[in-house]
Amino acid sequence: MTDRRSASLWGPEPRSGVAPEQPVIGAARRALRNPGVPFDLDVVLAQRVNRSAVERRAATLPRRRTVKQDWQAAWLLRAITCLDLTALQGDDTPGTVERLCAKARHPVRADLLHALGTTSLNIQAGAVCVYHAFVPVALRALEGSGIPVAAVSAGFPAGLNPLAERLHEVQASAAAGAQELDVAITRAHVLTGAWATLYDEVRGFREAAGDAILKVILATGELGTLTNVARASHVAMMAGADFIKTSTGKEAVNATLPVGVVMARAIRGYRERTSYAVGCKAAGGIRAAHSALEWLLLMKEELGDRWLEPARFRLGASTLLGDIERQLEHFTTGRYSAAYRHPSA
């Protein structure tokens, strides 16, 4: 993948934002993995969240920090590079996955890239996320692109299959060639305070995943409280999660900015304590370009520029890309186009 900078779009820092650094990819990304640390119940129980303060912080972020004009276009292009294009429907077919992979290779129409002056930047999606059955299809369709294939696993989305079956599923997806694995935890461990059991579960996923990047899905909308979100985040990172992920996208409540604040601060706290940097993935209900910008701004303010790269931040979505393309077309032409001009696959 080539350098994604542009003199017009990735220039010096303005007052309203900063151009993120070049993404870390390939072998360099694997070298940054979190190996995990021994379980520490005292650290877990010490996590407490002031809900009103977190909600106030999340509510003020979109009003205090905005990016406009060229900078907004640049940040939207960066959002695309952090996008996990997702096909997780019951009616998915090999053809659906192949079209999604083609979109991941070329996520923005050529005429828009030409108008933006970014045709040489090789803008691509961060990954393609599919069910285990479609891993071989996605690997063939993405061959030579450098785009990783992510497979949902471990009894996705509920995480209620027997643990042995879930571990076998993780191993099978890794053996099939998935470079990234999005695994669902057992929510009951969080709701009943069985933190050591949750640690053992995620540690088992880490070992079963082998060299694959492990994204641990917390299903935050089903954890009851923000304190539970903070504690589950720390346990997952202690057990070796490379990313902590908000949701499966199947819950009634998915990725919200207050949850993002809590998870980002958990990542920061874990890094300060262990020196290991863990990524964050926001998934579920993120459909509008402005929502993607809010998450990027949250990552920048809470964690810094390194979390504006696909090695540290992902957006899991199936329809978001279409709205981002519409915004880019509006930027270049001054007009909004119909959604059908920007198919997601």
What are residue 313's DSSP bridge partners?
280
Q: Give the phi and the psi of residue 215 in degrees, each rounded to 5.
A: -110, 120
Annotated active-site residue 84? The verdict is: no
Q: What is the Rg, in whole angstroms, of the alpha carbon atoms belonging to the chain?
A: 19
Q: Cα–Cα distance between 297 and 318 in angstroms, integer? A: 21
**281 is annotated as an active-site residue:** yes
Would you list the DSSP string of 144-166?
TT-PPEEEEESSTTTT-S-HHHH
Nearest-angstrom CA–CA distance, 114 and 45: 53
Q: 């009616």: which residue's tokens?
A: 91
- Cα separation, 239 vs 203, in Å, equals 5
Q: Which residues contact 343 (CB under 8 A, 6 or more apart)?
A: 103, 322
Active-site residue, from 182, 215, 300, 323: 182
Distance, CA of 277 to CA of 274 (rounded, Å): 9
Q: What DSSP state is assigned to residue 114?
A: H
Identified catalytic residue from 103, 215, 281, 300:
281
> Residues 6 or more apart from 45 whose CB is under 8 A from it?
195, 231
Q: Name which of 188, 189, 245 is nearest 214 in CA terms.
A: 245
**211 counts as catalytic:** no
**Residue 85: its H or E element:** strand 83-87
Distance separating alpha carbons of residues 21 and 307, to the nearest angstrom: 9
From the list 215, 245, 300, 323, the catalytic residue is: 245
Phi, psi of 216 (to 5 degrees): -95, 115
Query: Which residues are the active-site residues?
Result: 182, 245, 281
